[in-house]
Amino acid sequence: MLQKHFAYLYMKLEPREVAHILFQSGHISLDEHDEVTECNQKIGRLRSLLAILKKNNLYTHFLCTLKFLKYISVLDTLRKKEQLENHIGEYELCIQHNFILLQTELPDPDLAKEMIEYKLDESNISDIESCRGKIRQISKLLKILLTKGAASCKELLRILEFDLKREKLVQRLKDNSTDKKRRGKPSLCSELRSLNISCLQEHEEVLLEELDPLHISDLLFEERAIEIVEHDTITEFEYRRLQITNLLKTVKENKNDCFHFFLYILQNEEYVCIRKKLERPVPEASRADDVQNELIEVRLTIKSHDGSQVEQALQDINSSSTGILEEAISKAKMDIKEVSKGSVVLQLRPLTDQAVQTLLNAKENNRLVEMIIGMLQKANITKITDGTTPVEIKVLVKYAKTGKAKSVNETSRTTLMKHRIKANKNVIVSELKSTSLVSDLRDSKAFEKNAIEYIDKVDNNDEKVKMLLSLIENGNSEVVEEFLTALKDLKNVRIVDLIDPPEIHQFIRERITSNYKNILDEMQLTFAREVLSKCIGDVDGMAETILPKKGNRRKRMNTFLQFILQEDYNVIEFEKILKNNGLGDLLRMEEIIQREHTPAQDMEVTVVKDYIPSSREEVLFESVITVSYSGKFHLL
């Protein structure tokens, strides 16, 4: 009975209140009470409460508790034993129809909570704070307001329009909602109309790889194709695979025409790669210490009658897939700048300080060999060769002719500090006391005396700090350094760390590249957008590049991660947001040494001591890999 009304109870009931009364009445134990009340997620609290009620046969006592707590509408619904339809008014519709837009337009979660705190209870605030990341916290706040009904949603719109002076935004919200209501159930193209739910099972592997579950579940919620409880079930898991599993389960249940809206989202958001799969029938089954960390060339020359086919396969897979790139980043800590034809020439650009040295340090690891073998496996080399004779691949590594690679940190220290000042302006303004700082800067030759005196005359501390920060953002490197020195002299450690953080980016970059494939598996559109909101560089261009219409998820997210790895500032911000979203475990350093010495499946590596490489000075490494037809790989 209660499970039948689970979604309704989730909207209307706070399980903690019920558990408190049942415990005080002696109907449940302390452990059962704590099981409900100490859970950070409402969905977990409700599941625990219903399980306890069923186990202890407490249905009658539950109804009495609802009456005592004045949950009259809930009580009436349960007594009718009918599923109540979820009617929704214009204010709630306006919020739900603009769910994604409001996630970006509302202030930071703490400020948003503060603005409407009088509408929230202790459990509401706890539920919001238990969510990881800014977007999910705002999302939770909006859903709580929706559960509270028209008055709370109307109040949010009033705050936006009158308190925050966002009249144009409120009008845009109303227009969007009107458009959705006028549109009704959206139309599908003929190819998608012909699909049925079974295609989700048939193409599950593709969907697990390609879907952006947070983004799609947000869109489904906007379309009212899923309820709040279903949206929470998907989004309150931290890892993408679990999110997708629950998303697909919800779509397959097809309540509220969910499957139709799912297909519409694939069409409207231009998920071209997924559509192509769904619309198609399922197919049948050197010396490292002397090496500089510069741009290098890895030349692969195939010495067999199948050589041209193998070379072509490597070039083709580089064009059509991200497989080779993943091998380069995860095994070699390098990305691929260019792939030339003829003999396959890979131009590799180091992503970490010791990438080239480590790649060529054959005494301690097999990274170069593992990278090449990984690329050969991605290109299905064993299916290309005829099986009669081994395939020999000559490997030659030297510095690229284009000269030194650009530094990973292409942005000057001054520019980076200015970016950090801008990104952390609200925190700096709220924490910095201007009196002593302005006094210290008065005698500095880097600042114009008139400008400092003008700022000093301003009475309001926040305004004074804002003017000072504006002066610094428009100043030269001397101005920025003088400001930093003054902060250090005044022992403003937190602000110093925000502007000029310790040199941890290389450590973080090493972790990203070491765990690259696991991180790539978890990357999706919503998370990438949140990261980009804190990044520097061509953020607008990258935001366009990661859209579903630009290709398959893995390719788009590979490009996104490459963008992150280019800038120290972006690397540090990426780590922060990863941790804020509960994904910090992805940066855990695995047993790198063990992994480096663990060959790939069916791979054997043998070093033949009598092989004599070329003596040319520019050659950093030279060897031959022989691919045998037992599926074994040998290094000669």
pLDDT of 439-483, one tens digit each? Answer: 888 878 888 888 888 888 888 888 888 898 888 888 888 888 888
Predicted confidence at residue 188, as pLDDT, reads 94
Closest CA to 224 of 143, 128, 133: 143
- pLDDT tens digits for range 363-400: 667 788 788 878 877 777 666 665 566 677 788 888 87
Predicted confidence at residue 193, as pLDDT, reads 92
Predicted confidence at residue 595, as pLDDT, reads 43
Predicted confidence at residue 347, as pLDDT, reads 81
- pLDDT tens digits for range 489-532: 888 887 887 788 766 677 888 889 888 889 999 999 999 999 99
- Give the tokens for residue 563: 């963008």
CA–CA distance from 136 to each of 132, 164, 530, 534, 582 (Å)?
6, 22, 10, 16, 11
Whether 629 has a pLDDT exceeding 50, the answer reads: yes
- pLDDT tens digits for range 100-135: 999 999 988 888 888 888 889 999 999 999 998 899
Task: Work out the burial of residue 98: count CB atoms within 10 Å of its CB; fewer than 13 is exposed, 13-18 middle, 19 or more buried.
Answer: buried
More confident of the two residues 350 and 612: 350
More confident of the two residues 246 and 348: 246
Predicted confidence at residue 608, as pLDDT, reads 41
Predicted confidence at residue 534, as pLDDT, reads 87
* H helices present in 367-476, as ranges: 367-378, 381-384, 413-423, 425-431, 434-441, 449-456, 461-473
- pLDDT tens digits for range 202-244: 899 899 999 999 999 999 999 999 999 999 999 998 899 999 9
Whether 309 has a pLDDT exceeding 80, the answer reads: no
Whether 633 has a pLDDT exceeding 70, the answer reads: no
End-to-end CA distance of the chain: 70
Give the pLDDT band of residue 418 (cuts 50, 70, 90).
confident
Give the pLDDT band of residue 22 (cuts 50, 70, 90).
very high
Predicted confidence at residue 627, as pLDDT, reads 67
Give the pLDDT band of residue 84 (cuts 50, 70, 90).
low
Task: Give percent of the chain above pLDDT 90.
Answer: 42
Predicted confidence at residue 603, as pLDDT, reads 41
- pLDDT tens digits for range 585-597: 988 755 443 344 3
Predicted confidence at residue 566, as pLDDT, reads 84
Give the pLDDT band of residue 432 (cuts 50, 70, 90).
confident
Predicted confidence at residue 623, as pLDDT, reads 76
What is the number of other CB atoms lying within 10 angstroms of the CB of residue 129? 14
Lowest-confidence region among 416-425, 526-535, 624-633: 624-633
CB half-sphere exposure, 536, CA atoms < 13 A: 21
DSSP string for 582-599: T-GGGG----HHHHHTSP
Closest CA to 482 of 414, 569, 423: 414
| CB-based contact 43:232 (threshold 8 Å) | yes
What sign results for the dihedral spanned by CA atoms 141, 147, 151, 157?
A: positive
Q: How far apart are CA 400 and CA 395, in angstroms?
A: 15
Give the pLDDT band of residue 21 (cuts 50, 70, 90).
very high
Average pLDDT over residues 4-20: 90
Predicted confidence at residue 605, as pLDDT, reads 40
Q: How far apart are CA 553 and CA 525, in angstroms?
A: 8
Q: Give the H/E segment covering residue 200.
A: helix 198-202
Task: Give percent of the chain above pLDDT 70.
Answer: 85
Average pLDDT over residues 247-275: 95
Whether 8 has a pLDDT exceeding 80, the answer reads: yes
Q: How far apart are CA 381 and CA 275, in angstroms?
A: 29
Residue found under tokens 């090449």 = 372
Q: How far apart are CA 231 and CA 579, in angstroms?
A: 22
**Top-confidence range, 194-208, 308-322, 586-600:** 194-208
Give the pLDDT band of residue 274 (cuts 50, 70, 90).
very high
Whether 604 has a pLDDT exceeding 50, the answer reads: no
Average pLDDT over residues 60-88: 81
* Local structure of residue 237 (DSSP, 8 states): S
Whether 139 has a pLDDT exceeding 80, the answer reads: yes
3-state helix, strand, coil in the chain (%, to 5): 60, 5, 30
DSSP string for 479-515: HHHHHHHHHHHTT-HHHHHHHS--S-HHHHHHHHHHT
Predicted confidence at residue 372, as pLDDT, reads 81
Name 106's Cβ contacts closer than 8 Å, sequence gap at least 6: 112, 138, 141
Average pLDDT over residues 84-94: 82
Predicted confidence at residue 445, as pLDDT, reads 82
Predicted confidence at residue 591, as pLDDT, reads 40
Q: Give the H/E segment covering residue 174.
A: helix 167-183
Q: How far apart are CA 433 and CA 465, in angstroms?
A: 8
> Using alpha carbons only, what angle is made at residue 322 by residues 321 and 326, rounded to the nearest 5 degrees?
150
Give the pLDDT band of residue 606 (cuts 50, 70, 90).
very low
Helix (H), strand (E), coil (C) string for 524-537: CHHHHHHHHCCCCC
Mean pLDDT of the chain: 83
Three-state DSSP state, 189:
coil
More confident of the two residues 611 and 575: 575
Torsion angle of the four alpha carbons 91, 96, 101, 104, in this order, in degrees rounded to the nearest 10: 100
